[in-house]
Amino acid sequence: MAIKNVTSAVLVVAALLAGCGGGEMTMTEYVEAMDAIFDRGLERYEEVVAGPQGMVLIVGQGDHLGFGDSGMELTDFTPQDLSMALGQVAEIQDEAVEAAAALDPPDQIEELHALYFRELPITELAARAATATDWDDLSDSAEMAAYRDALEADNEVCAEFQARLDATAARGAFEDVPWMPAELTEIVDYALGCSSLPQNPQDAYRPVYSDEQ
């Protein structure tokens, strides 16, 4: 994926890599770099949510990342609102994954690091939302089906990450850094949104009308 703009997160990563002398990063450097990437991503996401169309991201998938829905419903927005919001989220996703791809993680977590490189098909969904006649049209689209399936797949990735993390810890890879498993769990929660995935991915952005409630 390509980042459209050079951002502070990328600059931080470049500085950290330069400090490593071009070699493998230490655990501390790795965590600091990942924190910088995802702190930047969360900051930008909060800005999107605070914008005119941003709340559609929350009401369409359920509360997550500490945001409330203020009593709003999906039908208070249009698919075009979702298109605009997802377009901005796609840029955040591209930026974060590109920056993470530039890292040279410590050997013992190289496989774990590879699990970060997943993308939700939000660019395609944003494009389809821009042309949708209404929420039912978008909900029944192939692009929405792919998005919902990807959310379900992310649940599986989160489970796989935890299994690999547990196995790595059991092998003693974190013997000298006992804090690392907790730090990595926090990082992957930023990266994959494990704690914020919708409980029912197949209901994401599915309109519910008053006579159905």
CA–CA separation, 139 and 159 (whole Å): 27
Find where tokens 């796989």 sit.
Answer: 160
CA–CA separation, 17 and 11 (whole Å): 10
Kindly report, residue by residue over 107-116, the tens digit of the pLDDT. 877 877 777 6
Q: Please answer whether residues 91 and 117 qualify as being in contact, where contact means their C-beta atoms are separated by less than 8 angstroms.
A: no
Determine if residue 204 is left, alpha or beta; phi over 0 gives left, psi from -120 to 50 gives alpha, anything else beta: beta
Kindly report, residue by residue over 111-170, the tens digit of the pLDDT. 777 776 667 899 999 999 999 999 999 999 999 999 999 888 877 777 777 777 777 777
Q: Please answer whether residues 118 and 52 qualify as being in contact, where contact means their C-beta atoms are separated by less than 8 angstroms.
A: no
Three-state secondary-structure class, residue 191:
helix
CA–CA separation, 52 and 73 (whole Å): 14
Confidence band of 189 (pLDDT split at 50, 70, 90): low
CB neighbours of 85 closer than 8 A, spacing ≥ 6?
Answer: 48, 51, 53, 54, 56, 57
**Side chain identity, residue 94:** D
Domain boundaries, the chain: 8-206
DSSP secondary structure code for residue 76 in this structure: G
In the predicted model, what is the mean pLDDT of the chain?
77
119: nearest Cα among 84, 157, 161, 81? 157
Quote the pTM value: 0.74
